[in-house]
Structure 1
Amino acid sequence: MTDSTIPARRAPHVATLRRTLPGLLRDPLGTLVGLADASPGQIVQLNLGTIRPYLVAEPAHVQHVLRDNAANYTRAGDSMMWKSVKKLAGDGILSEGPHWEASRRRLQPHFTAKRIDAAVDDLSRAISDAVDELAVPARDGVPVDAASEISRIICKAVIRVFFGDKIPVADGVRVVAEQDTVATALRFRLLTPFMPDAVPMPGDRAFRRAVQNIDDILLPLVRAERARDDGGDDIVASLARARDAQGHKLDEQRVRDDLVSMFATTTETTYVVLTWLFPLLEQLPDVAARLYEEIDRVVGPGEVISREQLGELRYTRMVLDELVRAYPSGWLVPRTAIADDVIGGTQIKAGGTIVLSPYVTQRLARFWDRPAVFDPERFAPGAPKRAHRYAYYPFGGGAHQCIGQYLFQLEAPLIVATLLSRFRYRLCTPGMPTPQLAASLRPKERVPLLLTPHRQPALA
């Protein structure tokens, strides 16, 4: 299948190693954005020596890979990060083919809009309880780590709502920390995808230890649930009693793979993305003031946010939409071409590596006005419609679009509004942290916060 919109064949723009290496080492994200901006309508081939991946940034080309001819572009096999992801998550919803399809069918019912909407009250209550625990360090003037506290709040919420309180919150926080280790350990393999697994690389040992630690926490839970089979409707219970296409109960490994994938899906994006919010707001006092005003107006002191209040947090929603434009967690989406194809007139050979990047596409100057500026007004209800559907795809696209997207859209504003209705903060280390290129885009430095109580509930 070929892209018929541009019938003429054209060579890709080739970014040579000599010209791009200094920039990729100094500022890899900025360099990739610059290459794509300088090549409108073109595929950019990155000459990295032994490998020459194609950077696909044009929205129409992204759509071709993720939707129009998605069957030709696989994330299975040994392309870039997927072989490492498989070592963590196995053959489940983060894989490809029949195993992925089966996992998606098993897990999708837990993430329908109807089911998540029904869980809003429970999510909000759990988030409120978790945020209340910050009153002690706020009172005592003890700094807290933004990423650690956001991960704890998320764990308390998703464990209660999706995992039936079957995972202790402390264990959930440990799993998130190990996921963080996995994501950062993968960066060495991401930078050298041509390196065989047999060749030791920095990060390999930390990766293996983190996967083992995750198994040590979750496998006993899987075994206990398979033995108990209590008929619950949480994710753990439904996986324990799930059947394969032949009617047999899933084996322990398959249940484990799906459970690991689901824990990552329900925690990773929200925790990573929200960590960027705190330093951003300190840089943008006008945005912060408008966000605080809306939250204070909608949410009373100490209140558990209701569904109705959540619907009124319109500017909060705009801030979060802009946040995942500027700092998408899934910044890198590699694919491998199964057969020859043509994208935008450029011949793609079978076996070629395709690199999609929401970060790059969402900062293209020809699709976004002042793309480096953080501007929530882009997502105002009356804002002009985007020029192309795939100019903005922070949660991926096509059949593999993130199953947890709708959860993020409810969970993230609940966390932000609950936290900022009760506390104000200042950064212990002013300034924006450096982006770290890992399996997901995260701040390289820690973001410690000093919280102060904002409002107290009125006495009865």
Structure 2
Amino acid sequence: MPLSVNAIPGPKGLPGVGVAPRLLNDPLDFLLRIHRHYGDLVKLPLGKHTMYLAVHPDMIKRITQENWKNYIKQYTTMEDILGQGLVTSNGDHWLRQRRLIQPAFHHQRITQMATVMVEEAERMLERWEAYARHRQPVDIQAELMLLAEKIIVRTMFSTSLSDTEAAQVGKAFNDTLNWVAGQQFRLLQPPRSWPTPANRRYYRNLTLLERTVYRLINERQQRQGEHDDLLEMLVSARDADTGEPMSPKQIRDEVMTIFLAGHETTAGTLSWILHLLAHYGDSERKLRAEYAAVLGGRNPTPADLPQLRYSRMVIDETLRLYPPTWLLTRTLVGPDTLGDYELPAGATVALSPYVTHRHPAFWPNAESFDPERFHPETVAGRHKFAYVPFLSGPRQCIGNNFALMEMQMVLPMILQRFHVSAIPGYPVRPIAKATLRPGPQQWMEVRKVG
């Protein structure tokens, strides 16, 4: 018989605030410590609320696959930005939108997007030529964020943003999401309606984002039928019962969601890969040898990717160490049993791929960078839900294959042209905000190969 929720172990925290200060101060270290100390299901008091951290892969499987309909998303802090898009919606609305958007991410369509990925990467690397000539430090994260934004806008919306506009939009997205993420466990915060400097900055950024998105939507509605992309699917969609089109607000929510999800993961992970390779020379040499053998200096095509096995292992190991979505929550519709305990309806359950990817029962020497963990034979013997960088089950990230192909196309283009090395005096550590990024700065040096 399952044990009561009151029997779940966990830290007591401080009167009135629980463990919220510790979670806000250094969330990654805190979550790892409590897992090591209390086990695979931990009770976390957060002032008036309680959260339960579920770490074991069996629990991940239960929450995301076996009983996924009983675990819904409640991201009220994100609704200003993402509305009722795929990331935040539930139930019939989510299912309807998922079915509508899914064809945009079919394998054949993604393969056809490779040309855009190569073209935009070429433009970025042309800038790097000048950086290399002048031995000018490169803000790697900013460069890769700009690249990923331009790729998602061209592939999903068949339009282009100038470098200046893309940089402005990217900064607005980053600042807005990080501000919202910072509110998640903060117990004392002014209402968003108060005209504080932070609130005013938040709404200025949100206005910039909405102005850009609605411009894209309006331009497409005036030129409907000229493109075969995600935006065309959204503006052409009709309700099966009423025949009504999606409202501009519905389209806006999905465009904002895809824009966010379509560039954050790729840019952040590529940034982490370059950081890791700068410190693990053996892996970099093995990667360059594979590129030389398979590509011989030319740009990759989708047909090459199955042969770039070690390259994919490097990407997977980077996503294990630094999953972009480091923490997410679900709310129980009805009671459920996790491990030895029964949780009540309404309970908030947190998943942390960052912690699960370091579970000592599945990942020995978990903090080390070892791409060989993803050799096919090793993967076959490991719990399927021990590695969930894009989550799993029906609500797995819809763009996971898009992101993986983009990384597999861009990485060899960078490394066949440049050596990317760390600059002393700029230590990099994971910054856990809306996503898990290298920070606080990521200045690196690029030098021409050969």
**TM-score normalised to the size of structure 1?**
0.89
Does the alignment pair 1:107 with 2:101?
yes
Q: 1:123 aligns with which of 114, 117, 121?
A: 117
C-alpha change, 1:53 and 1:196, in structure 2 (3 Å) is: farther
Who is 1:333 aligned against?
328
- 1:58-457 to structure 2, matched below 5 A, reads 58-76=56-74, 82-94=75-87, 95-168=89-162, 170-192=164-186, 197=191, 203-245=198-240, 246-301=242-297, 303-383=298-378, 385-429=380-424, 432-455=427-450
Deviation at 1:97, TM superposition (A): 2.4
Question: What is the number of residues matched between the two proteins?
Answer: 442
Aligned partners of 2:112 and 2:3: how far apart in 1?
Answer: 51
Note closer, same or farther for the CA distance 1:384–1:219 as it changes in structure 2 (3 Å cut): closer
Counterpart-to-counterpart distance in 1, 2:92 and 2:200: 31
Work out the CA distance in 2 between the residues paired with 1:199 and 1:230: 40
Q: Is the 8 A contact 2:138 2:443 kept in 1?
A: yes
SS in 2 for 1:383: helix
Which deviates the most, 327-336 or 166-175? 166-175
Secondary structure of the residue aligned to 2:143 is helix
RMSD of aligned C-alpha atoms?
2.4
Is the 2:150–2:161 Cα contact (8 Å) retained in structure 1?
no
SS in 2 for 1:335: strand
Q: Structure 2 counterpart of 1:249, which letter?
A: P
Distance 1:336 1:437, change over 3 A: same
Alpha-carbon distance change, 226 to 69 in structure 1, aligned in 2, over 3 angstroms: same
Contact 2:144 2:271 (C-alpha < 8 Å) held by counterparts: yes
| In structure 1, C-alpha distance between the alignment counterparts of 2:267 and 2:160, rounded to whole Å | 21
**Cα displacement (A) at 1:239:** 1.8
Over the matched positions of the two proteins, sequence identity in percent amounts to: 29
Aligned-partner SS, 1:13? coil
Q: Distance in 2 between matches of 1:280 and 1:102?
A: 40
Using the alignment, how far apart are the partners of 1:21 and 1:97 within structure 2?
Answer: 30
* Residues 43, 57 of structure 1: 8 Å contact kept: yes
For 2:163 and 2:90, the matched residues in 1 are separated by 31
- Is the CA contact 1:46–1:52 (under 8 Å) kept in the aligned structure 2? yes
Q: Secondary structure at the match of 1:15?
A: coil
Change (3 A) 1:203 1:322: farther
Q: Which residue of the partner structure matches residue 79 of structure 1?
A: none
Q: Structure 1 residues 325-334 or 253-262, which shifts more?
A: 253-262
Residues 5-84 of structure 1: matches in 2 within 5 Å? 7-9=1-3, 11-17=7-13, 24=23, 27-40=26-39, 42-76=40-74, 82-84=75-77
**Residues 367 and 391 in structure 1, CA contact (< 8 A), matched pair in contact too:** yes
Distance 1:167 1:61 in 2: 42
Distance 1:210 1:310, change over 3 A: same
How far off is 1:17 after superposition?
A: 0.8
Cα gap change, 1:193/1:275 in structure 2, threshold over 3 Å: closer, same or farther? Answer: farther
Q: Given residue 317 of structure 2, which amino acid in structure 1 is its aligned partner?
A: E
User: Is the Cα–Cα contact under 8 Å of residues 332 and 344 in structure 2 kept in the other structure?
Assistant: yes
**CA-to-partner distance for each residue in 1:144-169, whole Å, 9 max, x for gaps?**
21111112222333333332135445
User: In the superposition, relative to structure 1, how do residues 193 and 316 fare at CA in structure 2: closer, same or farther (>3 Å)?
Assistant: farther
* Runs (5+) with no aligned partner, structure 1: 1-6, 77-81, 456-460
Q: TM-score, normalised by structure 2?
A: 0.91
The residue type paired with residue 407 of structure 1 is F
Identify the range of structure 1 (200-209 vs 213-222) with the bigger mean alpha-carbon deviation: 200-209
User: Which moved further from structure 2: 390-399 or 200-209?
Assistant: 200-209
Q: 1 CA distance for matches of 2:190 and 2:342?
A: 27
